[in-house]
A and B are shown apart, each in its own frame.
Chain A
Amino acid sequence: MADVLLAAKGVTVRFGGLTAVDNVELEVRAGEFIGVIGPNGAGKTTLFHTLSGVLVPSAGRLVVAGDDLTGRPAHAFATHGVARTFQTPRVFRDMTAEQNVRFGLEFAGRTRMHAHDAFDDARTILGFLGLADAADIPAGGLTPARQRLLEIGMALGARPRVLLLDEAAAGLTHTELEAAAQLIRRVRDELGLAVIWIEHAVRVLMNYVERVAVLHQGRKIADGDPRAVSKDPAVIEAYLGEEGEPEKKAA
Chain B
Amino acid sequence: MRALGLRSILAATGVSAVVLAAMPWLLPDFWLSLALTCLMYAALAVSWAMFCGATNYLSLATSAFFGIGAYVTAWGLATLSYPVAVILGGLAAAAFATLVGAAVLHLRGAYFAVLTFGLGELVRHAITYFEKSYFKTVGRVIQEAPSSTTVYLTVLLIAAAAVCVCAMVRASRLGLALAGIGADEERTQTLGVNARRAKILGFALSAFFAGAIGAAIAVRWTYIDPTAVFNPFIGFQTVLIAMVGGAHTLIGPLVSSVVFSLLTEFLRLQFPYAFLILLGTLLILLVLYLPGGLASLMQRRWVRG
Q: Which of A90, A93, A96, A157 has the most CB of B within 10 A?
A: A90
Q: Is A39 an interface residue (CB 8 A)?
A: no
Which residues of A have CB within 8 Å of B8?
Answer: none
Contact B189 A79 (CB under 8 A): no
A47 to chain B, nearest CB (A): 15
B67 to chain A, nearest CB (A): 34
Which residues of A have CB within 8 Å of B190?
Answer: 52-54, 74-75, 77-78, 83-84, 158
Which residues of B have CB within 8 Å of A95?
Answer: 179, 183, 303, 305
Q: Is A42 an interface residue (CB 8 A)?
A: no
Contact B183 A93 (CB under 8 A): yes
Contact B194 A103 (CB under 8 A): no
Contact B183 A104 (CB under 8 A): no
Q: Which of A54, A94, A109 has the most CB of B within 10 A?
A: A94
User: Count of chain B residues with Cβ under 8 Å from any Cβ of A?
Assistant: 22
Cα–Cα distance between A107 and B303 once the two chains are bound (Å): 17
Q: Is A136 an interface residue (CB 8 A)?
A: yes
Cα–Cα distance between A246 and B196 once the two chains are bound (Å): 43
Q: Is A99 an interface residue (CB 8 A)?
A: yes
Q: Give the interface residue-count category, chain A.
A: 20 to 34
Cα–Cα distance between A98 and B305 once the two chains are bound (Å): 10
Contact A104 B187 (CB under 8 A): no
Cα–Cα distance between A35 and B301 once the two chains are bound (Å): 40
Which residues of B have CB within 8 Å of A84?
Answer: 190
Q: Which of chain B's residues has its CB closest to A159's CB?
A: B192
Which residues of A have CB within 8 Å of B301?
Answer: 94
A98 to chain B, nearest CB (A): 8
Q: With A92-B184, A103-B180, A106-B173 known to touch, is A74 a contact of B189 (CB < 8 Å)?
A: yes
Q: Is B34 an interface residue (CB 8 A)?
A: no
Contact B191 A99 (CB under 8 A): no
Instruction: Convert B181-215 into 0s and 1s, putting 1 for each residue whose CB lies closer than 8 angstroms to a CB of A.
Output: 00110111111111110000000000000000000
Q: Is A86 an interface residue (CB 8 A)?
A: yes
Q: Is B176 an interface residue (CB 8 A)?
A: yes
Report A94-129 residues with CB < 8 Å from chain B CB.
94-96, 98-99, 103-104, 106-111
Q: Is A206 an interface residue (CB 8 A)?
A: no
Q: Which of B173, B191, B195 contacts A154 (CB 8 A)?
A: B191
Contact A79 B186 (CB under 8 A): no
* Chain A residues within 8 Å of B, Cβ to Cβ: 52-54, 73-75, 77-79, 83-84, 86, 90, 92-96, 98-99, 103-104, 106-111, 136, 154, 157-158
15 further contact pairs, Cβ within 8 A, besides A54-B186, A104-B191 = A53-B190, A78-B189, A78-B191, A78-B192, A83-B190, A90-B184, A92-B180, A93-B183, A94-B302, A95-B183, A96-B305, A106-B176, A107-B177, A107-B192, A136-B305
Of the A-B pairs whose beta carbons lie under 8 Å apart in the complex, a sample of 21, sorted by A's number, is A52-B190, A54-B186, A54-B190, A73-B189, A75-B195, A84-B190, A90-B184, A90-B187, A92-B179, A92-B184, A92-B187, A93-B183, A95-B179, A95-B305, A103-B180, A103-B191, A106-B176, A107-B191, A107-B193, A158-B190, A158-B192
